[in-house]
Amino acid sequence: MGSELPPSPPEWVSEPCIMGIDEAGRGPVLGPMVYGCLYCALSYQKTLSTLSFADSKTLKEEKREELFESLKTDESIGWAVDVIDPRELSDKMLRKNKINLNEISHESAMGLIRKTLNLGVLLTEVYLDTVGDTEKYRVKLSERFPNIKFVVSKKADSLYPVVSGASIVAKVTRDRALRDWMPDETADLSKNFGSGYPGDPQTKAWLEDHKHSVFGFPSLVRFSWGTCTSYSKDFVDVLWESDAAEGDESGKSSKRQKKLTSVGFTTVKKRSEDIESSGKGRCKFFQARKLELLSQF
């Protein structure tokens, strides 16, 4: 989670302050989802409305970059971002106790609020775009932060300049993350992946060209997205050696373990969860994506 505030907090942070929160990249199958916030003194609100902030989706990339650089030099404004990696999104959405995208979004927004409060900023009002049921979201926020007034609204990024500013922070941060993406994989990967949205023909072609029958997709891909399902029909089943360590009622796993022992692959019978937790013998590809062995579905 990154942020920008002068080294020594300015005097205005002790005044009543407002905050806007917005996200970028909720729908794409590629890249991170970024939550951004922008905050300032309530007394600066009128000035904020003159800074040409608008919903980032309505602005050209050059204008977004210009506005972002401008707000970074404005000492009357603070901002922060939470960049949620594609692997983290997929890990949370596919784990046994699944965390859906709305919950991830809520926690990210509340994390930004909590971090700003910890900096000593006197937040009194926070404006957000709705995620899920508007009233339930507002109540959830109010229960977590009872001293703050929350306004949760559809199209908040086009209604409130403080949310428009947050929208620019989030969008520019995500754009830069995609532009500067450095693959974890050793293969030479193309960056011509289009918009990253599931319906984009260029994105579809990129996914087709960069799938691997064993290792799946590059780290840029949110492999939990339904878009990826159609590409998995060519994937091969992977049997972990740790699967053989526990044994099952049929005794097949015990025989497999005995066979591995006799040829020197293993000398100590370990429980699969021990092997999984240690990460020994596992490809870095799977460790990086936080893929876990599931014994039950």
One-letter identity of residue 265: F
What is the spatial distance between Cα 240 and Cα 13, in angstroms, rounded to a whole number? Answer: 54
What is the spatial distance between Cα 227 and Cα 31, in angstroms, rounded to a whole number? Answer: 14
Cβ partners under 8 Å of residue 134, min gap 6: 152, 153, 154
Burial, 117: exposed, middle or buried (Cβ in 10 Å; 0-12, 13-18, 19+)? middle
Q: Are 21 and 127 in contact (CB under 8 A)?
A: yes
One-letter identity of residue 40: C
Residue 107 is labelled as binding a ligand: no
Q: Are 291 and 258 in contact (CB under 8 A)?
A: no
Q: Which of 224, 172, 226, 193 is nearest to 34 (CA)?
A: 172
Residue 23 is labelled as binding a ligand: yes
Residue 200 is labelled as binding a ligand: no
Q: What are phi and psi of 2, to 5 degrees?
A: -105, 160
Binding site, annotated residues for a divalent metal cation: 22-23, 129
Binding site, annotated residues: 22-23, 129
